[in-house]
Chains A and B, each alone.
Chain A
Amino acid sequence: MRTTLAKLRAPGLYRAGLGFAIGIAFATAITWVVRSSTGHATFHHYLSGDAILTVSLIASPIFFLVGLGGFDYWLYWAAGRPTRPEDHSSHGAHSWKDYFRINTDHKVIGIQYTVTAFFFLLVGGLLAMLMRAQLAQPGAQFVDANTYNGLFSVHASLLIFLFVIPVFAGLANYVLPLMIGAPDMAFPRLNALSYWLLPLAGLMMLSSFLAPGGAFADGWTAYTPLSIDAPIGQDFFSIGVQLAGASSIMTALNFLVTIITMRAPGMSFFRMPLLVWANFATSLLVVIATPFIAASQFFVLLDHALGFNFFNAGKGGDVLMYQHVFWFYSHPAVYIMMLPGFGIISEVIAVKARKPIFGYRMMAFSLLAIVALGFTVWAHHMFTSGMASWIRIPMAITTAIIAVPTGIKIFSWLATLWRGILHLDTPMLFALGFLTTFTLGGISGVMLAMVPFDIHVSASYFIVAHIHYVLFGGSLMTIFAGVYYWFPKMTGRTFDERLGKWHFWTTFVFFNLTFAPMHILGLEGMPRRVATYASKFADLNLFISIASFALGLSTLIFVYNIVTSWRGGPRAAANPWRGLTLEWQVSSPPPIFNFDRVPTVVGGPYEYGVPGAVHGIFAPAPVPATVGGGAPVTTGGGVHAPSE
Chain B
Amino acid sequence: MEAASVAHAVAHEDHHGPPPAHRSSRVEPQLLGMLLFIISEVMVFGAFFTAYFFIRVAQGDPWPAPGTHLPVIPTLFNTMILVSSSITMHWALRGVQTGNYRALKAGILTTFLMGAAFLFIQINEYANIGFAPQDHAQATIFYSLTGLHGCHVFIGLCLLLFVTIRAFRGHYSPENHRGVEIPGIYWHFVDIMWIIVYTTVYVI
Are B44 and A262 neighbours in the complex by a CB distance under 8 Å? no
Contact: B36 with A309, CB < 8 Å? no
Stretch from B12-20, B76-84, B91-99 contacting the other chain: B12-20
Known: A290-B40, A310-B51. A315 touches B135 (CB 8 A): yes
Q: Which residues of A contact B36 (CB under 8 A)?
A: 253, 256-257, 287
- Point out the residues of chain B lying under 8 angstroms from A290, CB to CB: 40, 43
Contacts of A249 in B (CB 8 A): 40
Residue of B nearest to A83 (CB): B5
Q: Given A310-B137, A315-B136, do A261 and B24 touch, yes or no (CB 8 Å)?
A: yes
Specify which of B37, B134, B137 is in contact with A316 (CB 8 Å cutoff).
B137
Assess whether A260 is in contact with B171, with CB atoms less than 8 Å apart: no
- Interface size class of chain B, counting residues whose CB lies under 8 Å from the partner chain: 35 or more
Partner of A261, one of B5, B23, B171: B23
- The answer to whether A186 and B29 have CB atoms under 8 Å apart is yes
Residues on the B chain within 8 Å of A186, using CB:
29, 33
A309 with B43: CB separation less than 8 A: no
For the complex, is A644 an interface residue (Cβ under 8 Å from B)? no
B126 sits at the interface (CB 8 A): no
Question: Cβ of B137 and Cβ of A291 under 8 Å apart?
Answer: no
- The contact string, 1 if C-beta is below 8 Å from chain A, for chain B 1-42, is 110110011001001111111111101110011001101110
Residue picked from B4, B20, B21, most chain A C-beta under 10 Å? B21
Cα-based distance from A88 to B25 in the complex (angstroms)? 25
B165 partner, pick from A79, A87, A288, beta carbons under 8 A: A79
Q: How far is the CA of A306 from the CA of B134 in the complex (A)?
A: 8
Residue of A nearest to B12 (CB): A85
- Determine, out of B100-108, B109-117, B138-146, B196-204, the stretch whose residues face the partner at the interface: B138-146
The listed residue (A187, A287, A292) touching B29 by CB distance below 8 A is A187
A324 in complex: contacting residue of B9, B12, B27, B50, CB < 8 Å? B50
A440 within 8 A of B: no
Residue of B with least CB distance to A263: B24
CB < 8 Å neighbour of B48 from A257, A295, A312, A320? A295
CB distance from A489 to the nearest CB of B (A): 18
Q: Is the CB–CB distance between B5 and A267 below 8 Å?
A: no
The complex places the Cα of A296 from the Cα of B4 at a distance, in Å, of 41
- Given the known interface contacts A324-B54, A593-B19, the answer about A260 and B43 at a Cβ–Cβ threshold of 8 Å is no
| B25 adjacent to A291 (CB under 8 Å) | no
Of all chain B residues, the one with the shortest Cβ separation from A294 is B44
Question: In the complex, which residue of chain B has the Cβ closest to the Cβ of A80?
Answer: B165
> Which residues of B lie under 8 Å from residue A598 when comparing CB positions?
19-22
Considering only residues 294-347 of chain A, those with a C-beta below 8 Å from chain B are: 294-296, 299, 302, 306-310, 312, 315-318, 320-321, 324-325, 328
27 contacts between A and B (CB under 8 A): A77-B2, A83-B5, A85-B9, A253-B33, A256-B32, A256-B36, A261-B25, A261-B32, A267-B24, A288-B43, A291-B46, A292-B46, A294-B47, A295-B44, A306-B133, A306-B134, A308-B133, A310-B141, A312-B137, A316-B138, A317-B55, A594-B18, A596-B19, A597-B19, A598-B19, A598-B20, A598-B21
A interface, CB within 8 angstroms of B? 42, 77-88, 181-184, 186-187, 249, 253-254, 256-257, 260-265, 267, 287-292, 294-296, 299, 302, 306-310, 312, 315-318, 320-321, 324-325, 328, 593-598
Which B residues are within 8 Å of any A CB, using their own CB? 1-2, 4-5, 8-9, 12, 15-25, 27-29, 32-33, 36-37, 39-41, 43-44, 46-48, 50-51, 54-55, 58-59, 61, 65, 132-141, 143-144, 158, 161-162, 165-166, 169, 171
